[in-house]
Amino acid sequence: APAPRAKGAYRDHALVLLGCSTGGPRTLDEVIPRLPGDLPAPVVVALHIPETFTAALAERLNAASRLRVVELANCTELLPGTVYIARGDADVVVSTRSGSLQGVSVTRDPRLTWHPSVERLVRSALDALPAKQLVAVQLTGMGDDGAAAMCALRASGGRTIAESEETATVYGMPRALIEGGGAEFTLPSHRIADAINRVVRERRWA
């Protein structure tokens, strides 16, 4: 695969944001390995999980996937063809620093219930990039973390996907997005990777 361009190249492609909680590791096993190795977008995952598990999860998904999968544990440039699993027990935010798109692991916000916070991730991405460049995916999990931000993203012209009840281990997070009117697509887990790939390639971002 050609080496992705850095420094400002993020204006040319989408950014994919995945949120999940209870049942998330199993669902990520359904989604991440199905993504093509030449996906022209970085993927950032906020999964509610203790920090002792995220590095091993990234390693396991990396071995099973065509994309590179790594733990995001500090400040990292977000490049196409890579999946970044946010370190557990912290939050992750997106920013544009020094002309490049960065994923930054930050101290968790005590005002928020769940960490890494899907809501904070999506809000930060909306602050950093035009909504039309963002694809947000709400997978299995209890509660509603990320639903409000993804509804705002969709209303601003971004793309959203919710996991359907038939495959969600816990339907809370996807249901909150769907009931809020923010889900453009509602799909079973085994169809989500194809939808991400299709939506990412549908637009010319430049």
**Per-residue pLDDT tens digits for 49-75:** 999 999 999 999 999 999 999 999 999
Residue 94 Ramachandran class (φ > 0 left, ψ -120 to 50 alpha, else beta): beta
Which amino acids are annotated catalytic?
A: 21, 48, 145
Write out 168-198 in H/E/C secondary structure: CCCCHHHHHHHHCCCCCEEECHHHHHHHHHH
DSSP assignment of 93-124? EEEEETTEEEEEEE---TTSSSSS-HHHHHHH
Mean pLDDT of the chain: 94
Residue 181: Cβ within 10 Å count: 9
Confidence of residue 204 (pLDDT cuts 50, 70, 90): low
pLDDT over threshold 50, residue 2: no
Q: What is the pTM of this model?
A: 0.95
d(C-alpha 158, C-alpha 160), whole Å: 7
pLDDT over threshold 90, residue 97: no
Q: Torsion angle, CA of 14/140/183/206, rounded to 10 degrees? A: 0
